Amino acid sequence: MARERTQTMRVKLRLYWSLVKGLQTGLLLATGLAGYMSARCPVLSWPTLIGLMGSLFLAIGGSTIINMWYDRDIDAKMDRACRRPLPSGKIKANEALVVGLVIAFIGVLWAVALDPLFGTIVLAGLFFDVVIYTIWLKRRTAWSIVFGGVAGGMPVLAGRALGLGAVDWIGIVLAMAVLFWIPTHILTYSMRYFDDYQRAGLPTFPSTYGFRTTRKVISLSSILAGVCMVVATVGIGMESGYLRLLGVLSAGLLLMALGTLVRPSDRLNFGLFKYASFYMLGAMLVVVLGVL
């Protein structure tokens, strides 16, 4: 009996892990850590670092679960999303909503207890992600991705603010780098799964402005993300060796973005998408290593 309960719990945890979108959440946690360490390194307070990562994980994970709960009806219409735990019925909707609300609340409360400014930024990120992006704009306009990008930039801004005790221009530029990275992810999927989004009735850049314009927006957005990362790292004052490493990563992003503009294709676009994710993670790791 105990073994069956344990097995059931493991299955439930795996289902909720898929709702949290572990890879996406992990990348945002990496930006939060990079933001904090760019301002306060070496780390002198492990409880603060644990609080940073724990509160961000709960707030981001909770908001993602709430978003998945709200979008379960459109996910059910999409081939790539219909097998997710909520539209497939593997997790009850009310249960997921309660879990999402509870862990999001705990995450924000923990963040506020750690530092009021940090907590305010974390709460703002959750508000932009759930209320502004998902509930208000996602089903109304293709430009909702801007506010999704704002939400994605909040963890790195919050981490930097926690380390400094204030919001500065470097934190804002780091957040802008993530903001410009987000469209590369969302717009690529909106082209790759165009028919899915059409069936769900969601307004996207490809359906509103066409594939050609969407590819241009992805390329421009990727370039701006790289520029913001370079500007921010120069402002942080990292050593030249790490700046050169970031320069190599950024040059790769620039070349792929320009290649997509000159010879647009689905293959190049998806290659840019994959490299942009690698670039953002690599750039944040460079920031961490550069301040150690």
**195-208 pLDDT per residue, tens:** 999 999 999 999 99
First-to-final CA distance of the chain: 50
Span 140-169, average pLDDT: 95
pLDDT at 209: 95
Structural domain includes residue 49: yes
Q: Are 86 and 69 in contact (CB under 8 A)?
A: yes
Q: Which residue has the higher pLDDT, 12 or 230?
A: 230
- Cα torsion through 82, 268, 186, 98, rounded to 10: 50
Asked, as a colleague might, if the bond just before 47 is cis with ω within 30 of 0, I would say no
Whether 58 has a pLDDT exceeding 80, the answer reads: yes
Positive or negative torsion for Cα 198, 203, 207, 213: negative
Structural domain includes residue 5: no
Span 241-248, average pLDDT: 90
Whether 287 has a pLDDT exceeding 80, the answer reads: yes
- In whole angstroms, give the CA distance from residue 70 to residue 157: 26
Residue 277 structure tokens = 């994710």
φ, ψ of residue 49 to 5 degrees: the values are -65, -40
pLDDT-derived band at 2 (thresholds 50, 70, 90) equals: low
Helix (H, G, I), strand (E, B) or coil at 77: coil
Residue 290 structure tokens = 């550069």
Structural domain includes residue 1: no
Whether 211 has a pLDDT exceeding 80, the answer reads: yes
- In whole angstroms, give the CA distance from residue 32 to residue 111: 12
Burial annotation 241-266 (CB, 10 A radius, 16+ → b, else e): ebbebbeebbeebeebbebbeeebee
Structural domain includes residue 8: no
Q: Are 154 and 125 in contact (CB under 8 A)?
A: yes
- Residue 16, number of CB atoms within 10 A of its CB: 18
- In whole angstroms, give the CA distance from residue 258 to residue 13: 42
- In whole angstroms, give the CA distance from residue 137 to residue 141: 6
Span 270-281, average pLDDT: 89
Structural domain includes residue 13: no
> Which residues, 6+ apart, have CB-to-CB distance to 54 below 8 Å?
107, 110
Structural domain includes residue 138: yes
Which CATH number belongs to the domain containing residue 120 in this structure? 1.10.600
- In percent, the amount of the chain with pLDDT more than 70 equals 97
pLDDT at 267: 82
- In whole angstroms, give the CA distance from residue 185 to residue 196: 16
Structural domain includes residue 83: yes
Structural domain includes residue 246: yes
pLDDT, tens digit, for every residue of 62-108? Answer: 999 999 999 999 999 999 889 999 999 999 999 999 999 999 999 99
Residue found by looking up tokens 């974390």 in the block? 122
pLDDT at 42: 66
- In percent, the amount of the chain with pLDDT more than 90 equals 71
pLDDT at 137: 96
- Residue 13, number of CB atoms within 10 A of its CB: 10
pLDDT at 43: 66
User: Does residue 138 come out as left (phi exceeding 0), alpha (psi in the -120 to 50 range) or beta?
Assistant: alpha
Instruction: Report the domain count for the chain.
Output: 1
pLDDT at 44: 66
Integer CA distances (angstroms), 78 to 167, 171, 195, 268, in order: 40, 37, 8, 24
- In whole angstroms, give the CA distance from residue 119 to residue 97: 22
Domain residues for the domain of 56 are 18-291
- In whole angstroms, give the CA distance from residue 14 to residue 53: 21
Asked, as a colleague might, if the bond just before 42 is cis with ω within 30 of 0, I would say yes
pLDDT, tens digit, for every residue of 117-151? Answer: 999 999 999 999 999 999 999 999 999 999 999 99
Model confidence pTM above 0.85: yes
The number of residues making up the chain comes to 292
